[in-house]
Amino acid sequence: MKSWQALGLLCLLAPACATTDTSYRAPIERWQESHPETVEPEDAAQTAELPPHAQLPELLDHARRHNPKLRQAFFDWRAAVERIPQAGRLPDPRVLFGVFLEEVETRTGPMQGKFTVSQALPWFGKRALAGDVAAARADAVGEGVAAALLQVDREVRDAWYEYAWLHRAVEVSKAHRELLKHWQDVARTRLELGLSKPSEILRVELELGQLEDRLLSLADLERPLRARINAALDRDLNAPLDRPEFPLIGDLELDGEALLAGLAESNPELRRLSKQVTAANKGSDLADLAGRPDLVLGVDYTQIGSNGAAGSGDDAVALTVGFGLPVWRGVYRAEREEARAKQMAARLAMESAHNRLRSELEMALFQWRDKGRHLELLNGSLIPKGQEAIGIMGDTYQNGESSFIDV
């Protein structure tokens, strides 16, 4: 009876070796709390609509909620996180049953059957390192969510700014057309007065024709730009959009040295590669343990029948201990070499990305400074002087003191 109790206790305790700790999900939970828009139910993602008169802030919020690329990155991360407990788990226990085809007589009675429960225990540190590798890989995938969020924001901003530019370009081109029509009337009046030649009217008409072609191109461009925005929002490509408010360019001070110094901490691609380096380092440590034997603990229960003698019929229970035999040394050596190669590749990938991103940041900073100088020159000098020159040349042209080419 005591043997059965001991065996039953072992069977109950064996599944308890499996972990029920869910703390590995903490990064996911923190992200869900700070970014609830990325984890909406699928039906909500399909039915939500843009608010009326939506501008860039509303579009960005909608894209963060419904962009499939961002949602895919989140669920890839969640899948990677769920691999953490799988990597560090114990192997499943094994249960063996045996029946003697012919009873084996012993002093206490005939042996009738056997029941064995065994549990393999990986070498010390294997499970922890396997969990660490999976956790580092999950962290790397998690950085992909941050990268996807930035990419979606950039796609929406770029498309919206181009959409706003399109509407402003149409307004400017229409105003230019009205100005050319005015000069066309002036040229006809000058021709009637003998102050100009027919070629001036032809030149105006040529300019008008080119401008009409530009307006047609701009009108045709609206459809693909609207489709580009709607694609980022996961909406029908032909869904209507409100007229964009042209963005105001404010003063923005950029500290280039600070941006370069903080690149490794602020850039999600570099953070992802750093986590991959960590995973490769842990993987190398795990590979070093590949040739270590696993321990196997078990209980062997043998059912003994009664032979009528005193003390017969007592079942036998034995504790068993075993070890795996890591005989394939060449395989384990190859596993270690593979892990070290991955380790070096991860480090070189991070170094290469860091160099590339530094150079891209330097170019972006130059372009920012260059565009700032151009904008300052336009607003402070070229545009006011150009407006003044147009007014003067327009007066001289109407007075017959200059030609249309001057205008």
Sign of CA dihedral 333, 339, 341, 347: negative
Q: Do the domain assignments include residue 365?
A: no
Q: In the predicted model, is pLDDT for residue 179 greater than 90? A: no
Residue 392 located in a structural domain: no
CB 137 within 8 A of CB 80: yes
Mean of the pLDDT values across residues 271-298?
Answer: 93
Task: Answer whether residue 388 shows pLDDT above 60.
Answer: yes
Looking at mean pLDDT, say which of 2-11, 56-65, 239-248, 278-287 comes out highest.
Answer: 278-287
In a domain? residue 402 = no
Rounded to 5 degrees, φ, ψ at 189 are -65, -40
Q: Flag whether pLDDT at 251 surpasses 90.
A: no
- The string of DSSP letters for 320-339 reads EEEE-----HHHHHHHHHHH
Listed ranges 106-110, 360-364, 399-403; the one with the highest mean pLDDT: 360-364
Q: What is the CATH number of the domain that holds 60?
A: 1.20.1600.10
CB 14 within 8 A of CB 116: no
Give 134-160 pLDDT, tens digit per residue: 999 999 999 999 999 999 999 999 999
Closest CA to 313 of 103, 142, 172, 57: 103
The tokens of 199 are what?
A: 């070629």
Does 22 map to a domain? yes
Cβ burial 283-300 (10 Å sphere, 16+ → b, else e): bbbbbbbbbbeeebbbbb
Instruction: Give the Cα separation of 225 and 202 in Å (integer).
Output: 35
83-140 tens-digit pLDDT: 999 998 899 999 999 887 777 777 777 788 888 999 999 999 999 999 999 999 999 9
pLDDT band at 166; cut points 50, 70, 90: very high
Higher pLDDT, 48 or 132: 132
Q: How far is CA 393 from the centre of its chain?
A: 56
Summary mean pLDDT of the chain: 83
Q: Which of 32-46, 288-302, 336-350 has the weakest average pLDDT? A: 32-46
Domain for residue 152, yes or no?
A: yes
pLDDT score recorded for residue 38 = 62
222's tokens: 């609206």
Taking Cα atoms as reference points, which of 358, 362, 222, 346 lies closest to residue 278?
Answer: 346
Question: Which string of DSSP letters, residue by residue, matches 190-233?
Answer: HHHTTSS-HHHHHHHHHHHHHHHHHHHHHHHHHHHHHHHHHHHH
Interval 334-363 mean pLDDT? 95
Residue 95 lies in a domain: yes
- Percent of the chain past pLDDT 90, that is, above it, reads 38
pLDDT of residue 201: 76
Cβ burial, residue 45 (10 Å; 0-12/13-18/19+) = middle
The helix or strand, by DSSP H or E, that contains position 238, with its residue range, turns out to be none
pLDDT tier at 44 (50, 70, 90 boundaries)? very low
Question: What's residue 46's pLDDT?
Answer: 52
Name residue 257's beta-bridge partners.
none
Coil, helix or strand for 209? helix
pLDDT attached to residue 250: 60
pLDDT (0 to 100) of residue 144: 92
Q: Please check whether residue 181 lies inside any domain of the structure.
A: yes
- State residue 393's pLDDT score: 66
In a domain, 217, yes or no: yes
Q: Please state which of the ranges 1-10, 190-199, 314-323 shows the lowest mean pLDDT.
A: 1-10
Q: Is the pLDDT of residue 362 over 80?
A: yes
- Please classify residue 142 by burial: count the beta carbons closer than 10 Å to its beta carbon, then call 0-12 exposed, 13-18 middle and 19+ buried: buried
* pLDDT of 47 higher than 70: no
**Distance between CA atoms of 314 and 318, rounded to whole angstroms?**
13
335-349: average pLDDT = 95
**How many CA atoms are closer than 13 Å to the CA of 153, on its beta-carbon side?**
8
Higher-confidence residue of 194 and 167: namely 167
Distance (Å, rounded) from C-alpha 169 to C-alpha 219? 10
Note the pLDDT tens digit of each residue in 286-297.
Answer: 999 988 999 999
Residues 6+ apart with CB under 8 A from 23: none
| Dihedral over Cα of 158, 159, 163, 164: its sign | negative
Binned at pLDDT 50, 70 and 90, residue 199 comes out as confident
Locate 129 and state its tokens: 């390192």
By DSSP bridging, strand 295-304 and strand 316-323 are antiparallel
Domain range for 316 is 2-248+292-325
Domain count of the chain?
1
| DSSP letter assigned to residue 235 | S
Q: What are 210-245's pLDDT values in tens digits?
A: 989 999 999 999 999 999 999 998 888 988 888 888
